[in-house]
Amino acid sequence: MITTTNTPSRLLCTLLLLCPLAGTAATPAKAAPAKPPAPIRVLLAPALETTLASQLVGRITAVNVSLGQSFAKGTPLVRFDCSEQNARLKMSEAELAATRENYEAKLRLQGLQQASEVEVSLAASNVAKARAQIGLSRAQLTPCTVHAPFAGRAVKVAVKPHQGVNQGQILLELVSHGSLKLRLNAPAKWVGWLKRGTPFEVQIDETGKPYRARVVAINGRIDAVSQTIELEGVIDQASPELLPGMSGSARFTPPA
């Protein structure tokens, strides 16, 4: 018969259930899995956007685009009343015709030895001056018609036909057709693994759908206040339901 004597420490261990069983080793605790990064807010923006302003003081005769309407590149969007500029162009053309006739007459007289070389040179200079005046008159006619700089849509129409405007006054705000840009600010500590082409998923609030996207541009400077870096991305698949100004959340998967 074998008897065992429990020491006080052994007895306390048994009562508190703190002692490992004989012949077994303590199992180390498993590390908690790393939490995925929090989603980042994103904004959809057009590839191109611009504000067109009047380059002259005048009266508008026609506005050929309405709010939300699509247009092709080069479409005349706004026309001004440029009667005065057209009259100046006709005067310049008439002046050119007169100076050319005078120059040709001086050449004939020079052949007859009745006009000097200086007279012929002055007549030629007057022709060149008249041609330059025509170029100036045509340049002054250019702002009379405002053409679309790219294919897109009008998001703001600030003027109406028969309205008088001043130089620098806003006429239209335009956004381009085509793929949209995703604008977002990622934590600065991601700089070590973020690069062009890094894939991510974006959930757009207005559509409730997820979209595959990728990074196409990374700012060369970190914001010292927010400790974030600005990124631009694009959505891989064609998504005509998306519009500029929509927003959502982007989720990145850092490399293991």
Domain 83-142 has CATH 2.30.250.10: no
Check pLDDT > 60 for residue 5.
no
User: Which option is the CATH number for 49-81+143-176: 2.40.50.100, 3.40.50.280, 3.10.520.10, 2.60.120.10?
Assistant: 2.40.50.100
Contacts of 44 (CB under 8 A, 6+ apart): 180, 181, 182, 183, 204, 242, 243, 244, 245, 246, 247, 248
> Would you place residue 106 in the very low, low, confident or very high pLDDT band (cuts 50, 70, 90)?
confident
Per the prediction, the chain carries an average pLDDT of 86
Q: Could you tell me what percent of the chain has a pLDDT over 90?
A: 70
Write the pLDDT tens digit of every residue in 14-42: 444 444 444 445 555 555 555 667 889 99
Write the pLDDT tens digit of every residue in 67-76: 999 999 999 9
Mode of pairing for the β-strands spanning 228-235 and 180-187: antiparallel
Check pLDDT > 80 for residue 2.
no
Model pLDDT, residue 4: 46
Give the Cα separation of 135 and 111 in Å (integer): 31
Write the pLDDT tens digit of every residue in 163-191: 999 999 999 999 998 788 999 999 999 99
149: left (phi over 0), alpha (psi -120 to 50) or beta: alpha
Residue spans of the domains in the chain: they are 40-47+178-251, 49-81+143-176, 83-142
Say which CATH superfamily domain 40-47+178-251 falls into.
Efflux pump adaptor protein, beta barrel domain (2.40.30.170)
Residue 109 tokens read as 């007289």
Q: What is the C-alpha R_g of the chain?
A: 38
Q: What is the 3-state secondary structure (H, E, C) of 61-85?
A: EEECCCCCCEECCCCEEEEECCHHH
Write the pLDDT tens digit of every residue in 228-248: 999 999 998 888 889 999 999
